[in-house]
């Protein structure tokens, strides 16, 4: 159907190799030849078949982009940066939606079949099997928004979730809160559990206890439902650290719908700094995770991995900062 190299060669009256060479840069072709071939190619509307060439070159320029979070708006930004970053480097994202796969390991299998050059896993609820499966398949993998295992044995880009949890606890304590609670995302998400771990350690180091609960998903509804449950159960804490903005915004909505004032009656601290957190009608105080930087660094790391196959696994962690808005009582000056 499509025009092939052979047809171009015939029309230009040259060998197939010659045509191939004019379309691979760095190959030796005379100007005369190049012009002849380009003319024929233009006339025929030829464009080389990337997949056929991948067969011999061993590179498809396909990068698997795996995610399982299509409910948190956070990922739209991430997708934007991932895709434009990959494209800018002449790589193409093959998107995999883990949510709708019966067995997550099928994703690995599928990406193998499509000979992707590498994989970016953008998820914090990723099955632990992934790292080893990709390693066994010899596919370089970058885990974005994932857990940093201390001894970096896989490529990780993100924040230090334990640190972020501790930072949250410290922030709340500094604000004078004592009756503090942790409102997590899904228990299966390493982001939620690691943040809890750091949060817990920091609380303990101040001699404070706290309660914690989980929402089933990283979604508005999950956060809202969980907070409604807490309200109905009575005995609210003075402040909640929601392990993600989308959870926190859901919680905020639950509080509002029950007439509980924020931050006067209950405080909320989020994490992420979603665009929505800054909307006037939400105005959530939160800890900022630099989403764009993380996505962008993940692509950079992927490219390094491709250039330098034997490379040591590396973790790239970014700092978090507090974004002061309206859902926490202010820091008392001089307190």
Q: What are phi and psi of 250, to 5 degrees?
A: -60, -45
Distance of CA 125 to the CA centre of its chain: 11
Q: Which residues contact 225 (CB under 8 A, 6 or more apart)?
A: 215, 250, 254
Cα gap 89→57, rounded to integer Å: 18
CB crowding 202-230: b at 16 or more within 10 Å, else e = bbeeeebebebebbebbbbebbbbbbbeb
Q: How far is the CB of 92 from DNA (least distance, A)?
A: 16
CA-based R_g, the chain, Å: 25
Q: Is the peptide bond before 263 cis (omega within 30 degrees of 0)?
A: yes
Residue 77 interacting with DNA (CB under 7 A):
no
Which listed range, 71-79, 117-125, 150-158, 207-215, lies at the site for a copy of itself (CB under 8 A)?
A: 71-79
Residue 87 found at the interface with DNA (CB under 7 A): no
* Closest approach of a copy of itself to the CB of residue 116, in Å: 10
Nearer residue to DNA within complex by CB, 2 or 333? 2
> What is the x/- site pattern for a copy of itself, positions 115-154, by CB under 8 A?
x--------------------xxx----------------
Give the nearer residue to DNA in terms of CB position, either 15 or 87: 15
Residue 30 contact partner, candidates a copy of itself, DNA, none, CB within 5 to 8 A by sort of partner? DNA
Closest CA to 291 of 191, 149, 183: 191
321 binds, among DNA, a copy of itself, none (CB under 5 to 8 A by kind): none
Instruction: Pick the binder of DNA from 39, 55, 105, 176 (CB under 7 A).
Output: 55
Here's the x/- map for a copy of itself, 187-226, by CB under 8 A: it reads as ---------------------------------x------
Q: Which tokens go with 115?
A: 């000979």
Sign of the torsion angle spanned by Cα atoms 173, 177, 178, 181? negative
Please state the φ and ψ torsions of residue 64, each to the nearest 5 degrees: -70, 135
Tokens of 272: 């992420």
Q: Does 323 bind a copy of itself (CB under 8 A)?
A: no
Give the closest residue to 202 by CA, choosing from 150, 237, 161, 159: 161
> Which of the ranges 26-34, 47-55, 122-130, 299-307 carries the binding residues for a copy of itself, by CB under 8 A?
47-55
Instruction: Find the binder of a copy of itself among 83, 161, 272, 289 (CB under 8 A).
Output: 83
- In DSSP terms, which residues pair with 212 in a beta bridge? 182
Instruction: Compose the 246-275 pattern: x for residues touching a copy of itself by CB under 8 A, - for all others.
Output: ---x--xxx-xx-----------------x
Question: In whole angstroms, what is the distance from residue 64 CA to residue 269 CA?
Answer: 34
56 contacts a copy of itself (rule: CB under 8 A): no
Closest CA to 249 of 198, 287, 216, 283: 283
Residues that bind DNA (CB under 7 A): 1-2, 4-6, 14-18, 20-21, 23-24, 28-30, 32-33, 46, 48-49, 52-53, 55-57
Binding site for a copy of itself (CB under 8 A): 1-2, 45, 47-52, 54-55, 58, 60, 62, 65, 70-71, 73, 75-77, 79-80, 83-84, 87-88, 92-97, 99-101, 109-110, 112-115, 136-138, 220, 249, 252-254, 256-257, 275-276, 279-282
């Amino acid at each position: 159907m499509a025009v092939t190299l052979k047809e171009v060669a015939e029309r230009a009256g040259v060998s197939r190799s010659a045509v191939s060479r004019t379309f691979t840069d760095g190959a030796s072709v005379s100007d005369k030849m190049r012009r002849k071939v380009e003319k024929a190619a233009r006339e025929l509307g030829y464009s080389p078949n990337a997949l056929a060439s991948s067969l011999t070159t061993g590179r498809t320029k396909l990068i698997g982009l795996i995610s399982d979070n299509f409910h948190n708006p956070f990922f739209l930004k991430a997708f934007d940066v991932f895709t434009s970053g990959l494209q800018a480097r002449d790589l193409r994202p093959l998107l995999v939606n883990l949510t709708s796969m019966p067995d997550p390991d099928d994703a690995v299998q599928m990406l193998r079949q499509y000979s992707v050059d590498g994989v970016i896993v953008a998820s914090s609820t990723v099955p632990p099997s992934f790292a080893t499966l990709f390693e066994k398949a010899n596919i370089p993998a970058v885990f974005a928004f994932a857990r940093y295992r201390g001894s970096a044995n896989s490529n990780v880009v993100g924040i230090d979730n334990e640190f972020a949890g501790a930072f949250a606890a410290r922030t709340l304590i500094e604000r004078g809160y004592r009756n503090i609670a942790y409102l997590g995302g899904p228990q299966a998400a390493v982001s939620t559990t690691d943040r809890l771990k750091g949060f817990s350690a920091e609380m303990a180091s101040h001699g404070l206890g706290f309660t914690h609960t989980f929402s089933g998903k990283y979604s508005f509804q999950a956060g809202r439902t969980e907070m409604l449950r807490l309200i109905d159960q009575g005995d609210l804490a003075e402040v909640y650290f929601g392990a993600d903005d989308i959870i926190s915004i859901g919680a905020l909505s639950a509080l509002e719908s029950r007439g509980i004032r924020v931050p006067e009656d209950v405080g909320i601290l989020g994490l992420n700094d979603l665009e929505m957190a800054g909307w006037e009608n939400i105005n959530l105080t939160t800890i900022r995770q630099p989403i764009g930087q993380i996505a962008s660094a993940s692509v950079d790391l992927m490219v390094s991995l491709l250039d330098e196959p034997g490379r040591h696994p590396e973790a790239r962690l970014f700092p978090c900062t507090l974004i002061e808005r309206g859902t926490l009582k202010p820091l008392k000056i001089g307190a």
